[in-house]
């Protein structure tokens, strides 16, 4: 399976994730710039496609300083998985 995915290329994988029914967002850099956000995630956030390319906190200022932002940044910095058993949050690098 891994070889198959690597043969697809980045653009194809991003296109697949963008069409997923699972809420998906991909961030880059320490400021968590939004590189991909699909319609399911936009519905959860209550946002539109204008958030693409913005930092997480710029796109979602209502979450600035909240625990989720800190968790997300920690996953980015450490590569450690955060999986909430009490909710539906799963963050991976």
Written as tens digits, the pLDDT of the chain (93 aa) is 455 556 778 888 888 888 888 889 989 888 899 999 999 999 999 999 999 999 999 999 998 888 888 888 888 888 888 777 655 455 555
C-alpha distance from residue 47 to each of 41, 78, 83, 88 (Å): 9, 28, 24, 19
Q: What is the pTM of this model?
A: 0.75
Cβ atoms of 3 and 15 closer than 8 Å: no
Task: Measure Cα distances from 2 to 5, 13, 69 in Å.
Answer: 5, 12, 30
Token duo for residue 22: 């699972």
């Amino acid at each position: 399976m891994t070889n198959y995915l690597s043969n697809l290329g980045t653009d194809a994988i991003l296109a697949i994730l963008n069409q997923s029914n699972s809420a998906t967002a991909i961030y880059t850099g320490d400021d968590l710039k939004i590189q991909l956000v699909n319609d399911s995630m936009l519905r959860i956030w209550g946002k539109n496609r204008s958030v693409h390319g913005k930092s997480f906190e710029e796109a979602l200022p209502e979450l600035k300083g909240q625990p989720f932002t800190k968790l997300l940044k920690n996953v980015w910095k450490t590569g450690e998985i955060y999986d909430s058993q009490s909710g539906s949050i799963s963050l991976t690098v």
